[in-house]
């Protein structure tokens, strides 16, 4: 079995679990209402150059409205971690696949296990 020491593609952010833990240790844990309009959430929390994670199961339960709002507000130079489960059988739909293959967007592929392990280490998530 061939073991590779590195993945393919550029990392869009430093996967530094210690920095993430430090941030979450300082984060305010006060209970307060968090419901807001998607427009307001994108305006407040998504900035040019941010790295975010969009979750869902294939085409189900994905935050499509948030993606549309990010585009409407003209955010630039964003990185996204997209944890796609279930598309192994169906594959990506043709349009996004052509877009990635065109070179107009950079992509880094992680295995499901590697991404889940990174998120768990960095954010203390139970994925």
The string of pLDDT tens digits covering residues 68-119 is 999 999 999 888 776 555 555 566 677 777 877 888 877 777 777 777 777 7
Quote the DSSP letter at residue 59.
Answer: T
Q: Which residues contact 66 (CB under 8 A, 6 or more apart)?
A: 38, 41, 42, 54
pLDDT band (50, 70, 90) for residue 42: very high
* Confidence (pLDDT) at 56: 63
pTM of the model: 0.58
- Per the prediction, the chain carries an average pLDDT of 76
* pLDDT-based confidence at residue 7 (cuts at 50, 70, 90): low
pLDDT at residue 13 tops 70:
no
Instruction: Mean pLDDT check: name the lowest of 7-16, 19-28, 76-85.
Output: 7-16
């Amino acid at each position: 079995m061939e073991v590779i020491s590195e993945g393919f593609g550029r990392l869009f952010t430093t996967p530094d679990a210690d920095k993430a833990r430090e941030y979450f240790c300082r984060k305010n844990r006060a209970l307060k209402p968090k419901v807001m309009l998607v427009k307001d959430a994108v305006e407040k929390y998504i900035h040019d150059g941010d790295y975010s994670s969009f979750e869902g199961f294939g085409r189900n339960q994905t935050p499509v409205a948030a993606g549309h709002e990010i585009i409407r507000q003209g955010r630039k130079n964003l990185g996204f971690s997209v944890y796609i489960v279930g598309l192994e059988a169906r594959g990506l739909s043709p349009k996004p696949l052509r877009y990635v293959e065109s070179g107009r967007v950079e992509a880094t592929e992680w295995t499901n296990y590697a991404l889940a392990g990174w998120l768990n280490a960095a954010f203390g998530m139970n994925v």
